[in-house]
Amino acid sequence: MKSDIGVWLDHSGAVLIHMQSGHAVAGERIASNIEPKRSSRRHEKRTSSTHRAPTRAKHDENRRREQIKAYYAGLARTLRDADRVLVIGPSVAKYELADALRRRKANAPRVVAVEACDRMTPRQLLRHVETFFAEHAPARPAAR
């Protein structure tokens, strides 16, 4: 079933808000399973020779990049049946997800907006998504 979905996300997880009959309904929470970024200084202190520290830091960064890629791919699969998607959140994750959705060839939902916002209570998030889709309702063809 096609629908409109609002997604609030950062690198720790996402919250999906589905629109049903003009009202926002709380959807699922999706954990990202992305490891937190590590400081390269931490690796320098733990290794006996400093020439190994950049290699370890690069390995960690590559693993984190793959985890982020898998997170967005999972979200894209979850959103594949949506007509329109509103992407909101406090970090760059919202732009990264929007880009990942736009790059998908098949079954890609239309990203209608990407908005910056801080953390919201569940009620505020529902109201925000509901208001957005009410104000941006798809144009109906003129009757003849």
Domain boundaries, the chain: 3-135
The tens digit of pLDDT for each residue in 81-97 reads: 888 999 999 989 999 99
The tens digit of pLDDT for each residue in 9-59 reads: 999 999 999 998 888 888 889 999 888 876 655 545 555 555 555 688 888
Asked if residues 89 and 117 have their Cβ atoms less than 8 Å apart, the reply is yes
Task: Report the share of the chain in percent with pLDDT over 90.
Answer: 44
84-121: burial string, b at 16+ Cβ within 10 Å, e else? bbbbbbeeebbebbbebbeeeeeebbebbebeeeeebe
Position 110 scores a pLDDT of 86
The pTM of the full predicted model, rounded to 2 decimals, is 0.79
The tens digit of pLDDT for each residue in 57-73 reads: 888 889 999 999 999 99
* 141 band by pLDDT with thresholds 50, 70 and 90: low
- Hey, what CATH topology would domain 3-135 get? Nucleotidyltransferase; domain 5 (3.30.420)
